[in-house]
């Protein structure tokens, strides 16, 4: 009788662990930034990507494009965006926005795409190293906008007078940005 009880508990524990969500990490396909002072230059092959604002106005905006979304928004329980901060000229807040398509690594300030104006997460960055945004709202919105497998992009915008660089995918693979979400 005791063996049957142990077997039953083991089966219940196994089923409970299987019922949890699946972690999904869409592939980072491209990262770049645009620069208002170099409006016709692209930065898609740089080793770092910059976000900078001056007097509350963005002057460098970063874009990270990920492989297609194939999950429904109601299936997403949590998400995070993890990026490695390389250098901080001026600390401050960096917010994430959605561009519901793939940004190209050749975009410039003059021809950058229009992204959704709804802020979907903010992080106050004070030092170098790994930083993690709660990207749940971002991924759910991407799932609504890109439900048929289209690629999507994170847009990073500095606030106030912040100026921060992040590791680019052209640099170290250990410092590459990771977007991960849990879906049921």
Say which residue the tokens 């492989």 belong to: 67
pLDDT band at 10, cuts 50/70/90? very low
| pLDDT above 70 (res 7) | no
Per-residue pLDDT tens digits for 99-143:
988 889 899 999 999 999 999 999 999 999 999 999 999 999 999
Kind plus residue range of the DSSP H or E element containing 16? helix 2-18
- At 2 the three-state DSSP class reads helix
Nearest Cα to Cα of residue 137 among 150, 121, 124? 121
Average pLDDT, rounded, for the chain = 88
Q: How confident is the model at residue 150 (pLDDT cuts 50, 70, 90)?
A: confident
| pLDDT given for residue 168 in this prediction | 95
Residues 6+ apart with CB under 8 A from 5: none
Has residue 16 got a pLDDT over 60? Answer: no
Q: What residues does each domain of the chain span?
A: 21-183
The pLDDT value recorded for residue 31 is 95
pLDDT at 6 over 90: no
Q: What are φ and ψ of residue 24, in 5° steps?
A: -125, 130
Which one is predicted more confidently, 148 or 17?
148
CB-based contacts of 44-48 (< 8 A; 24+ apart in sequence): 44/104, 44/105, 44/106, 44/107, 45/105, 45/170, 46/168, 46/170, 47/167, 47/168, 47/170, 47/171, 48/86, 48/87, 48/165, 48/166, 48/167, 48/168, 48/171
Model confidence at 160: pLDDT above 80 = yes
C-alpha torsion sign, points 58, 64, 70, 72: negative
Domain 21-183 sits in CATH at 2.60.120
CA distance 144 to 138: 10
């Amino acid at each position: 009788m005791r063996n049957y009880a142990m077997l039953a508990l083991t089966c219940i524990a196994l089923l409970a662990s299987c019922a949890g969500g699946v972690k999904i990490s869409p592939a980072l396909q491209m990262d770049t930034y645009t620069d208002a002072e170099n409006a016709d230059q692209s930065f898609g092959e740089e080793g770092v990507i910059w976000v900078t604002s001056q007097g509350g106005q963005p002057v460098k905006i970063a874009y990270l494009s990920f492989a297609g979304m194939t999950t429904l928004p109601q299936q997403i329980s949590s998400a995070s965006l993890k990026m490695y901060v390389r250098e901080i000229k001026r600390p401050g807040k960096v917010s994430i926005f959605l561009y519901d398509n793939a940004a190209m690594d050749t975009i410039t300030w003059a021809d950058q795409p229009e992204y959704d104006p709804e802020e979907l997460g903010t992080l106050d960055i004070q030092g170098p190293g790994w930083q993690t945004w709660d990207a749940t709202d971002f991924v759910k919105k991407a799932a609504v906008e890109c439900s048929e497998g289209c690629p999507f992009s994170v847009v990073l915008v500095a606030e106030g007078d912040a100026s921060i660089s992040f590791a680019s995918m052209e640099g170290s693979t250990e410092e590459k940005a990771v977007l991960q979400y849990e879906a049921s």
